[in-house]
Amino acid sequence: MNKNKHFYGIDISKDVFDVMDQSDKHSSFSNTMKGFKEFRKKLPPDSVVIMEATGVYHVQLADYLFLQDIFVSVVNPLVIKRFIQMKMRRVKTDKADAQMICKYGIQNELKAYEPVSLHMKEARIITENIDLLIKSRTMFKNRLHALSHKSAKTRLGIINPMKKSISELNKQIKRLEDELKQIIRLHYQDLYSRLQTIPGIGSSTAMFLIILTDGFEKFESAKQFICYTGLSPTEKTSGSSVRGSRSISKQGNPKIRNLLFMCSFNACKSNKACRDLYVRLVAKGKSKKLALIAVANKLIKQSFSIAKSGLVYDENFRSVKNELALF
Q: Which has the closest alpha carbon to 18: 8, 27, 5, 31?
A: 27
- Rounded to an integer, what is the distance from CA 33 to the centroid of its chain? 26
What's the pLDDT band for 29 if we cut at 50, 70, 90?
Answer: very high
Query: In sequence order, what are the residues at sequence separation of 6 or more whose Cβ sits closer than 8 angstroms to the Cβ of residue 68?
Result: 40
29 in Cβ contact with 17 (< 8 Å): yes
**Given a cut of 90, is residue 280 above it in pLDDT?**
yes
Mean pLDDT for the chain?
Answer: 85
Contact residues for 141 (Cβ-Cβ < 8 A; gap 6+): 166
Q: Over the stretch 84-101, which tens digit does the pLDDT of each residue have?
A: 888 767 667 888 889 999
Look at residue 324 and tell me whether its pLDDT is greater than 70.
no
What is each CA distance from 89 to 82, 84, 95, 96, 239, in whole angstroms?
A: 11, 6, 13, 9, 28
State mean pLDDT over 116-139.
Answer: 92
Helices (H) and strands (E) in the chain, counts: 13, 9
d(CA 151, CA 148): 8
Options 3.80.10, 1.10.443, 2.40.128, 3.30.420; CATH of 6-107? 3.30.420
pLDDT score recorded for residue 40: 95
Domain parsing of the chain, residue ranges: 6-107, 118-188, 208-309
* Separation between Cα atoms, residue 190 and residue 178, nearest integer Å: 18
Per-residue pLDDT reduced to its tens digit, 221-253:
898 888 888 887 655 444 454 444 555 555 667
